[in-house]
Amino acid sequence: MSVTVKIQRVAGRGEPLELPSYQTAGSAGLDLRADEACLLAPGERRLVPTGLRLELPAGYEGQVRPRSGLALKHGVGMVNAPGTIDSDYRGEVGVILVNWGQAPFEVRRGERIAQLVVAPVVRAELELADALAGSDRGAGGFGSTGR
């Protein structure tokens, strides 16, 4: 299944970067690249621009997800993973990176920093109820199902 997403580069930051792409035939996400270099100190978080604007079709969202290699090798991830790009947002896509590692991390311009997964959205209709159906779990919360 495929869907067309219109994309536009933000002008004025140097040579245009490679557009997001799937790295393998089985990849779920398109790689997003940093459009500006920066240095992330340990514990620091920063909005890193991608230099891209999107027009997602109605009924779809963009899910911005961390790259597992950055997390494993450098302790770099995303604070709000996954981040959501709504279909009516037309601003520049940014990635909120955080350095959970112990050493500063240099983000180079053009480096792959996140993945974009385009996914369908189901809109819920809420119905106020006097009672909810029971379940085996009930109201058991965090950790209630064991380890």
Residue list for the binding site for substrate = 67-69, 80, 84-86
| Most distant pair of Cα atoms in the chain: their distance | 59
Distance CA 60, CA 91 (A): 16
Cβ neighbourhood burial of 44 (10 Å; 0-12, 13-18, 19+): middle
For residue 97, give the nearest of 16, 57, 40 by alpha carbon: 40
Binding site listing:
67-69, 80, 84-86
- Please answer whether residues 48 and 109 qualify as being in contact, where contact means their C-beta atoms are separated by less than 8 angstroms: no
